[in-house]
Amino acid sequence: MSEFGFEAENMVPAPAGNATARAIFTIEDGIMLAYGTTVPSDGTAGYALGCLFIHTDGGVGTMLYCNEGTAGSCDFDAVTVG
């Protein structure tokens, strides 16, 4: 067993992205990392402030989003590299 409490070679891969967002990592404040083919609509609850969303069928400039709203009302904006 590794120092993380699991063996990486025994991990099951996540299913492919679809319109329903799938949580990868959550904390007490909500989802911190998620993916899917549709970015959550503004105002959706359950995504923690700072949550990263991977848009699996996005293009250049529309593949990574960050929640700049709240856990009660998300506001996902595309992450840009400056």
Q: Classify residue 72 as left (phi > 0), alpha (psi -120 to 50) or beta.
A: alpha
For the entire predicted model, the pTM comes to 0.78
Residue showing tokens 């995504």: 47
Indicate the domain borders of the chain. 15-78
The pLDDT value recorded for residue 14 is 61
Diameter of the chain by CA atoms?
41
Cα angle, residue 38 at apex, residues 31 and 23 outer, rounded to 5°: 25
Per-residue pLDDT for 1 more than 50? no
Question: Coil, strand, or helix at residue 10?
Answer: helix
**Span 16-40, pLDDT tens digits:** 666 778 888 899 999 999 999 999 9
Per-residue pLDDT for 6 more than 50? yes
